[in-house]
């Protein structure tokens, strides 16, 4: 026994020595990774593993960062939130809007040497329809058939005209190599986790779960200056905690954060001359949405009163440090053309809200400062730093208007499941990406709820009629007018209280890399295929 | 002895079976299924139904359970919902990291904890005892994420002594790779050991103090045994039983610590996998991870019991 | 002999005095008393944290002793209000765990049939990694102070049971228990009169250790975002710091709640140890 514990002491001492020793010996590893010239490696921080390598199936934001660099899309969204050509040179409608025609470039190549052709696009769309894959399946609802008359032409035949069809499908759908995916059998069960063949600027070379994903350059990528990216490799490294990722950027372990820097944390990089922040807009917005199945929330006066009980200006000033734009109607100002500028946001006016509720017949019988029986839970995803703060402040300001709110911010998946089942009164959340206003209105207000995100659970014949009417309108000016009219209705009814469009900030090491082309939203940001193809090492 | 071992083994198997069953049903009580996370995109009810069918989640619960047990007996942990990859492969990617992290922390805790505990008990109420008690209790009072974050910010970033997150520098080869591995391991292990060491040494010391007061120690003293001999031979032998128990217990706690530490230090272990899988409702991965950890702890506990029996002659085998 | 020792054990009052005579015991008791006082009188000490302030992410100053967070709220007020939640959950969860754990541990130590079932149940509970399980349960239920308490309490008892059982087994194997059995004492009597008093020091230590572990569990769950979003707790302050990404620049937002946890757990542990030393009659005579 005595010998044993002596040995233990010796072992402990030895391990301690060994550990402290390696602290002294090795101080030269982590900052060396990337060198200039043609062999530059761009290292990007991400928050989690790739959960699904199948681009037709994956729905995760972090997956799409990696997959979008491998699989081309017909269209991309540029820095001004406009659709820009990617694999498709152009698109047009024929047959009174019932046929969408894409003209493809002829200089995209898969990394195994084969050209990217119209058949690849046709195969991708048909597979999505056949297996109902990902979110693109819903966008292909009206497609009756797909045709590839020649290698650079794809025609989608639709059962009815739908104005933003080409934009939606062009932006969302990944194009996969038919000659590879065809032999995989059931694509809903295809993992695509090795031997990748892509046609973007980079293609995956190796994946080490929990650690890193290395992508090598595609030597033929026409959208890069010089026909191929200037960076030879892109390496994604995983940092689940944003604090750790920021420290890693400062430490030189990574060159770019894929995740936006939280507003409050931007100061971290003050005084660091190498680190620059790039600011981009959003393609979604933060909002409060009211469950119409709640008997009180079904009354427009109550929804309007709630809209007057949230101090959006104060929220923007504090939670977002002023770095956001207040919204009035439900269409984000980033789609300026469709934004109904005549709409004024509901003012923050607790007294007015009280008056409105009193007029609607609500009373404070017991004198506790709250209207009797008027109590709502506000559901939110607790992992969203900004929204949880919004709910906290909303709860306090609503108190002034005599409305009792309960903070129901819960774990993310529980929140999503409750929203899906309609188990909430008020939903405080942030839409991620709407690439066009029509898709947004369809997903959020149609009673058939095609996107599963009609959080109002609204069933209004009037709204259905207005939306379907607009969707089938092919004359652009009339289409815009109809959208603006829907804006107005949503605003008057206060189906939701739009809060703000925030700006995202992306941090990168400007001492090492330059030339990022940032697109709006945290889905696209600095890591789109196009952006990565433009990046150059400094010096 | 053989019968005792057999009994213990049977009990271990039973425990593992109950653990499997309990987690299986508990996981399916959770609100939300894997399709809810896909709400970010558009999805029709038909698509959702198709997805559930692919995963086999549309079948009756009991049928799913029987199928799962059958597969498990063949060593098949199922296919991950999110990663469409066999769970066993995913676990094999991650488990070694956690074993390395938790194992190193475990060995260090015991290697440092026993001498501290014994030394403190031997010098009861004198200054070494007080210093070591302070150290022990202080360690016990630490909150893992706080320790991890403070170590990361100050020792990792400010002083720059250790890497910020990760498990190894992928560009290193040979000896440099081992060095890099150790270098990355220091801060995560340190945050676990700082927290684990306290209660461990403390319990050992408390037990020793108790045992030293026992009659037979007094009897031993009466027989004229020297203080040191008394401590090592009689007291430690009895006090080591609860310390052994604690060793087994610590594995479970270590896993909890690992969930928190691995996230802060971006360490690729199974703890982080569990945390992510909870968020994604990835039943097969969660289940597989639980079962692997449960087996580890149950086997460790069984071994503890055997040692216990060997060391304590009062327990009939 | 132990019979007489137990009979000669000091009554509560002198034990309490002896406890307070020790500087460390006195200090620990004072800290605990202050914590309880802070929890009870939180509204008198600081306004409930809320709203927004102009001084965002400010370090500790005369106006804000513990600095401010990214909304400009006072961290001192948050820590003070957090004391309520953390203490309440710690105490209540530890009571649940102790009652369950002691009952099961003692029954297992003495009654062979109970031991078979009890040990299996304990082993199962111990075999499951607790924190991930608590994460899952907390995700099922509506997060509130009470559901957290129950979850933490229900997962903390096995450790108590296991410790009590192993100590109970040692005591059970002692000659005087055999003696009592020979003299015809019933099982119930032996457990309550002989074994229970012998493990009391361990129970007392367990109460305090379990309570502090419960405080840490609560902090862990809140830190992972599974706490009660409507009440302040120390874990929630840490979560806010982590979620807003200010850990590297606002050390005060991490340090002060961590210190509060440290102080409480430290005090509880020291108190437990001192109490243990005082209550152990043989120590004074040995």
User: pLDDT-based confidence at A296, cuts 50/70/90?
Assistant: very high
Residue B98 domain-assigned (yes or no):
yes
The two three-digit tokens of residue A516, written as one number:
């990022």
Judgement on whether residues B177 and B254 belong to the same structural domain of the protein: yes
Look at residue B84 and tell me if it is in a domain: no
Checking if the pLDDT of C13 tops 70, the result is: no
Contact yes or no for C245 and A409 at CB 8 A? no
Note down the domain range covering B198: 92-316
pLDDT band at residue B243 using 50, 70 and 90 as cut-offs: low
Residue C139 has pLDDT above 70, yes or no: no
Q: CB of A237 within 8 Å of any CB in chain B?
A: yes
Check residue A115 and report its DSSP letter.
B
A513 band by pLDDT with thresholds 50, 70 and 90 = very high
Shared-domain flag, residues B224 and B294:
yes
Looking at the domain assignment, is residue B188 inside a domain?
Answer: yes
Chosen for mutation from A26, A210, A429 (greatest number of chain B CBs closer than 10 Å) is: A210
Greatest distance between any 2 Cα atoms in chain B: 84
CB distance C262–B256 less than 8 Å? no
Query: Which is nearest to A243 in space by CA: A217, A271, A256, A262?
Result: A262
Portion 270-289 of B in contact with A at CB < 8 A? 272-273, 275-276, 278-281
CA atoms within 13 A on the CB side of A478: 10
CA dist., res. A402 & res. A351, Å (int): 9
Do the Cβ atoms of B37 and A416 come within 8 Å? yes
C-beta atoms of B26 and C136 within 8 A:
yes
Query: In terms of domains, do B62 and B122 share one?
Result: no
Say yes or no for a CB contact (<8 Å) between A388 and C229.
yes
How much is the average pLDDT of C206-228?
Answer: 85
- B305/A380: higher pLDDT: A380
Tell whether the model's pLDDT for residue A208 goes beyond 60: yes
Letter string b/e over residues A353-366, b meaning 16 or more CB atoms within 10 A of that residue's CB = bbebbeeeebeeee
CB C69, CB C240: distance < 8 Å:
yes
| β-pairing verdict for A153-158 and A202-208 | unpaired
Residues B41 and B168 in one domain: no
Selected residue with higher pLDDT from C277 and A418:
A418
Phi and psi at A412, nearest 5°, equal -50, -50
Question: What is the 3 state secondary structure string of A25-85?
Answer: HCCCCCCCCCCCHHHCEEEEEECCCCCCCCCCCCCCHHHHHHHCCCCCECEEECCCCCEEE
C132–B11 C-beta distance less than 8 A = no
**Best-predicted range by mean pLDDT (A441-445, B20-24, B194-198):** A441-445
Match 């302050």 to its residue by tokens: C237
Q: Are C227 and C236 in contact (CB under 8 A)?
A: yes
Q: Give a yes or no: residue B296 inside a domain.
A: yes
Angle at A225 between CA A220 and CA A227, to 5 degrees: 20
CA distance C177 to chain A (A): 29
- B312 at interface of C, judged by CB pairs closer than 8 A: yes
Report d(CA C168, CA C102) in Å as an integer. 10
In a domain, B142, yes or no: yes
For position A17, what pLDDT does the model report? 37
Beta carbons of B107 and A15 less than 8 Å apart: yes
Exposed, middle or buried, C233 (CB in 10 Å: 0-12/13-18/19+)?
buried
Cβ separation C127–B145 shorter than 8 A: no
Q: Which chain B residues in 36-95 lie under 8 Å from chain C, judged by CB atoms?
A: none
pLDDT in tens, A30-54: 334 444 457 899 999 998 888 889 9
User: If pLDDT is split at 50, 70 and 90, which confidence band does B239 have?
Assistant: low
Give chain A's mean pLDDT.
88
- Based on the fold, state whether residues B302 and B169 are members of the same structural domain: yes
Residues B99, B225, single domain; the answer is yes
Contact A317 C52 (CB under 8 A): yes
* Percentage of chain A modeled with pLDDT above 70: 92
Pairing of strands A153-158, A99-104: antiparallel
Please report residues of B whose CB lies closer than 8 A to that of C265. Answer: 140-141
Q: CA-CA distances (angstroms) from residue B232 to B201, B225, B311, C282? A: 16, 11, 14, 20
pLDDT band at A479 (very low <50, low <70, confident <90, very high): very high
Rounded Cα distance, A497 and A456, in Å: 11
Residues B18 and B142 in one domain: no
| Among candidate residues C47, C191, C176, the one with its CA nearest the CA of residue C110 | C191
DSSP states of A192-226 as a string? --SS----SSEEEEEEETTTEEEEEE-S--TTSGG
Q: Is any Cβ of chain C less than 8 angstroms from the Cβ of A413? A: yes
> Residues near B138 by Cβ (< 8 Å), separated by ≥ 6?
B198, C262, C266
d(CA A294, CA A125): 40
**Residues 62 to 81 of C: which have CB under 8 A from any A CB?**
70-72
For A334-388, the pLDDT digits (tens) are 888 888 888 999 999 999 999 999 999 999 988 899 999 899 999 998 888 899 9
List the single residue in A268, A389, A409 with the smallest CB-CB distance to C248: A268
- Domain match, B66 and B97 both: no
In a domain, B58, yes or no: yes
CATH number, domain with residue B205? 1.10.3720.10
C-beta atoms of B142 and C126 within 8 A = no
What is the rounded distance in angstroms from the CA atom of residue A40 to the CA atom of residue A379?
46
Residue A173 is classified by DSSP as P
**Are A49 and B179 within 8 A, CB to CB?**
no
Report yes or no: A241 and B157 within 8 Å, Cβ to Cβ: no
Tell me the per-residue pLDDT of C233-252, one tens digit each, with 9 for 90 and over. Answer: 999 999 999 888 888 888 89
Q: Is residue B20 part of a domain?
A: yes
Q: Which of C162, C216, C270 sits opposite B143 (nearest CB)?
A: C216
Q: CB under 8 Å to A196, separation ≥6 — which residues?
A: A53, A70, A111, A203, A204, A205
Say whether both B140 and B47 belong to one domain.
no
Q: pTM for this one?
A: 0.83
Q: How confident is the model at residue A125 (pLDDT cuts 50, 70, 90)?
A: very high
Question: Cβ of B266 and A241 within 8 Å?
Answer: yes
- Whether chain C has a CB inside 8 Å of the CB on B221: the answer is no
User: Is B174 part of the contact surface with chain A (CB cutoff 8 Å)?
Assistant: no
Answer with the residue of higher pLDDT: B237 or C143: C143
Q: What is the mean pLDDT of residues C178-205?
A: 78
Task: Judge contact between C94 and C149, C-beta under 8 A.
Answer: no
In a domain, B149, yes or no: yes
Q: Do residues B37 and B165 both lie within one domain? A: no
pLDDT at residue B2, as a whole number: 77
Distance, in angstroms, between B18 CA and closest chain A CA?
26
Q: Would you call B196 an interface residue with chain A, using a CB distance cutoff of 8 Å? A: no
Interchain proximity A408–C139, CB inside 8 Å: no
**How distant is the Cα of C137 from the closest Cα of chain A, in angstroms?**
11
CA pair distance C131, B258, nearest whole angstrom:
10
Whether B157 and B235 share a structural domain: yes
The β-bridge partners of A519 are A525
| Candidate from A59, A137, A413 with C-beta closest to B40 | A59
The angle at the Cα of B268, spanning B265 to B269, to the nearest 5 degrees, equals 105
A248 shares contact with chain C (CB less than 8 Å): no
CA end-to-end span of chain B, whole Å?
6
Nearest C-alpha in C relative to A398: C51
Confidence check: pLDDT of A218 > 90: yes
Total count of domains within chain B:
2
A477-481, B52-56, B145-149, C278-282: range with lowest mean pLDDT: C278-282
Same domain, B312 and B221: yes
This model of the complex carries an ipTM of 0.80
- pLDDT, position A22: 36
Burial class (CB in 10 A: 0-12, 13-18, 19+), A114: middle
Mark yes or no for CB contact B278/C170 under 8 Å: no
Q: How far apart are CA C266 and CA C264, in angstroms?
A: 5
Residues of A in contact with C138 (CB under 8 A): 411
DSSP string of chain B? -HHHHHHHHHHHHHHHHHHHHHHHHHHHHSS--GGGGGGGS---HHHHHHHHHHHTTTS-HHHHHHHHHHHHHTT---B-TTT-SBHHHHHHHHHHHHHHHHHHHHHHHHHHHHHHHHHHHHTTTSHHHHHHHHHHHHHHT--HHHHHHHIIIIIIIIS--S-SS-S--TT--HHHHHHHHHHHHHHHHHHHHHHHHHHHHHHHHHHHHHHHTSHHHHHHHHTT--HHHIIIIIIHHHHHHHHHHHHHHHHHHHHHHHHHHHHHTT--SHHHHHHHHHHHT-HHHHHHHHHHHHHHHHHHHHHHHHHHHHH-TTS--
pLDDT tens digits, residue range A59-94?
778 899 999 999 999 999 998 888 999 999 999 999
| CA–CA–CA angle B148, B151, B154 (5° rounding) | 145
Q: Which of A261, A314, A406 is the closest to C245 by Cβ?
A: A261
Residue ranges of the alpha helices (H) in chain C?
Answer: 2-7, 12-21, 23-40, 42-45, 75-110, 112-127, 130-140, 145-172, 175-182, 187-189, 196-223, 234-243, 251-279, 281-285
In this complex, is the C-beta atom of A51 within 8 Å of any C-beta atom belonging to chain B? yes
Return the residue in B114, B189, B266 with the most chain A beta carbons within 10 A, the one to mutate for interface testing: B266
């Amino acid at each position: 026994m005595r010998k044993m514990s002596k040995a233990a002491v010796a072992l402990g001492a030895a391990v301690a020595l060994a550990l402290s020793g390696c602290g002294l010996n090795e101080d030269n590893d982590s900052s060396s990774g990337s060198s200039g010239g043609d062999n530059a490696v761009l290292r990007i921080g991400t928050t989690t593993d790739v959960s699904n390598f199948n681009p037709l199936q994956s729905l995760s934001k972090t997956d799409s960062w990696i997959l979008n660099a491998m699989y081309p899309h017909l269209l991309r969204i540029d820095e001004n939130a406009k659709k820009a050509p990617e694999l498709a040179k152009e698109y047009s409608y024929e047959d009174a809007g019932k046929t969408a025609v894409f003209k493809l470039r002829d200089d995209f190549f898969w990394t195994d040497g084969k050209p990217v052709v119209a058949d690849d696009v046709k195969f991708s769309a048909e597979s999505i329809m056949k297996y109902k894959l990902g979110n693109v399946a819903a966008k292909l609802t009206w497609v009756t058939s797909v045709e590839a008359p020649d290698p650079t032409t794809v025609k989608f035949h639709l059962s009815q005209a739908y104005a933003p069809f080409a934009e939606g499908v062009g932006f969302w759908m990944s194009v996969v190599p038919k000659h590879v995916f065809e032999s995989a059998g059931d694509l809903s069960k295809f993992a695509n986790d090795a031997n990748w063949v892509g046609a973007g600027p980079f293609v995956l070379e190796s994946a080490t779960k929990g650690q890193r994903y290395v992508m090598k350059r595609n030597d033929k990528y026409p959208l890069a200056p010089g026909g191929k990216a200037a960076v030879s490799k892109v390496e994604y490294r995983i940092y689940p905690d944003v604090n750790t990722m920021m420290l890693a950027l400062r430490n030189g372990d990574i060159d770019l954060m894929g995740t936006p820097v939280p507003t409050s944390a931007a100061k971290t990089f003050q005084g660091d001359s190498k680190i620059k922040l790039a600011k981009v807009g959003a393609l979604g917005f933060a909002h409060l949405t009211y469950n119409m199945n709640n008997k009180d929330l079904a009354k427009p006066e109550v929804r309007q009163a709630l809209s007057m009980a949230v101090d959006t200006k104060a929220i923007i000033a504090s939670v977002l440090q002023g770095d956001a734009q207040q919204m009035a109607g439900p269409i984000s100002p980033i789609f300026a053309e469709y934004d109904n500028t005549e709409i004024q946001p509901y003012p923050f006016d607790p007294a007015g809200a009280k008056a409105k509720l009193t007029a609607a017949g609500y009373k404070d019988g017991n004198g506790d400062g709250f209207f009797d029986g008027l109590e709502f839970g506000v559901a939110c995803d607790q992992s969203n730093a900004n929204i949880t703060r919004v709910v906290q402040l909303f709860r306090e300001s609503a108190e002034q208007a005599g409305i009792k709110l309960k903070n129901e911010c819960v774990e993310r998946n529980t929140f999503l499941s409750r929203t899906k089942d309609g188990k909430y009164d008020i939903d405080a959340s942030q839409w991620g990406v709407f690439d066009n206003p029509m898709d947004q209105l369809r997903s959020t207000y149609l009673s058939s709820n095609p996107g599963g995100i009609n959080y109002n659970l609204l069933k209004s014949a009037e709204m259905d009629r207005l939306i379907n009417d607009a969707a089938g309108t092919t004359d652009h000016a009339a289409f815009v007018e109809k959208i603006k009219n829907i804006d107005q209705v949503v605003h008057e009814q206060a189906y939701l209280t739009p809060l703000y469009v925030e700006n995202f900030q992306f941090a990168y090491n400007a001492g090492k890399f330059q030339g990022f082309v940032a697109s709006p939203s945290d889905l696209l940001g600095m890591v789109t295929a196009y952006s990565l193809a433009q990046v150059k090492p400094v010096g | 002895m053989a019968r005792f071992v057999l009994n213990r083994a049977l009990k271990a198997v039973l425990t593992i079976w109950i653990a499997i069953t309990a987690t299986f049903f508990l996981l399916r009580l959770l609100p939300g299924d894997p399709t809810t996370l896909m709400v970010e995109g558009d999805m029709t009810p038909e698509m959702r139904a198709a997805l559930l069918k692919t995963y086999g989640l549309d079948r009756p619960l009991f049928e799913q359970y029987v199928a799962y047990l059958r597969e498990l007996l063949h060593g098949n942990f199922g296919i991950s919902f999110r990663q469409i990859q066999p769970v066993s492969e995913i676990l094999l990617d991650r488990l070694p990291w956690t074993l390395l992290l938790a194992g190193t922390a475990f060995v260090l805790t015991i290697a440092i904890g026993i001498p501290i505990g014994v030394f403190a008990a031997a010098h009861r109420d004198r200054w070494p005892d007080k210093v070591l008690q302070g150290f022990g209790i202080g360690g016990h009072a630490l909150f893992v994420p706080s320790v991890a974050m403070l170590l990361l910010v100050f020792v990792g970033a400010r002083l720059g002594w250790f890497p910020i997150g990760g498990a190894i520098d992928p560009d290193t080869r040979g000896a440099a790779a081992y060095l890099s591995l150790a270098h990355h391991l220091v801060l995560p292990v340190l945050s676990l050991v700082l927290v684990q060491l306290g209660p461990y040494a403390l319990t050992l010391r408390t037990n020793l103090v108790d045992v030293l007061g026992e009659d037979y120690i007094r009897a031993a003293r009466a027989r004229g045994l020297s203080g040191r001999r008394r401590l090592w031979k009689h007291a430690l032998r009895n006090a080591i039983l609860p310390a052994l128990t604690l060793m087994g217990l610590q594995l479970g706690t270590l896993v909890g610590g690992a969930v928190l530490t691995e996230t802060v230090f971006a360490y690729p272990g199974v703890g982080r996998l569990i945390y992510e899988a909870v968020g994604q409702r990835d039943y097969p991965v969660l289940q597989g991870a639980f079962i692997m950890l449960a087996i580890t702890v149950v086997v460790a506990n069984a071994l503890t019991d055997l040692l216990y029996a060997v060391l304590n002659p009062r327990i009939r085998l | 002999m132990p019979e007489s020792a137990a009979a000669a054990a000091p009554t509560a009052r002198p034990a309490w005095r002896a406890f307070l005579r020790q500087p460390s015991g006195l200090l620990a008791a004072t800290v605990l008393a202050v914590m309880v006082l802070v929890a009870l009188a939180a509204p008198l000490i600081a306004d409930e944290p809320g709203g927004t302030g102009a001084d965002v992410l400010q370090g500790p100053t005369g106006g804000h002793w513990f600095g401010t967070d990214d909304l400009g709220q006072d961290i001192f007020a948050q820590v003070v209000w957090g004391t309520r939640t953390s203490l309440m959950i710690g105490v209540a969860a530890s009571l649940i765990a102790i009652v369950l754990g002691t009952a099961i541990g003692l029954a297992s130590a003495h009654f062979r049939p109970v031991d078979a079932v009890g040990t299996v149940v304990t082993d199962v509970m111990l075999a499951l990694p607790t924190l991930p399980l608590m994460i899952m349960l907390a995700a099922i239920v509506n997060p509130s102070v009470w559901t957290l308490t129950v979850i933490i309490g229900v997962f903390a008892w096995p450790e108590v049971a296991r410790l009590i059982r192993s100590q109970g087994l040692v005591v059970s194997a002692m000659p005087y228990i055999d003696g009592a059995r020979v003299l015809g004492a019933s099982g119930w009597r032996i457990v309550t009169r002989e074994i229970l008093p012998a493990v009391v020091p361990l129970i007392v230590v367990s109460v305090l250790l379990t309570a502090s572990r419960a405080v840490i569990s609560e902090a862990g769950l809140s830190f992972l975002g599974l706490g009660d979003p409507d009440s302040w707790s120390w874990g929630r302050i840490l979560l806010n710091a982590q979620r807003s990404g200010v850990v590297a620049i606002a050390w005060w937002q991490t340090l002060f709640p961590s210190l509060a946890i440290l102080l409480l757990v430290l005090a509880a542990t020291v108190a437990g140890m001192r109490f243990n030393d005082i209550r152990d009659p043989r120590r004074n005579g040995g």
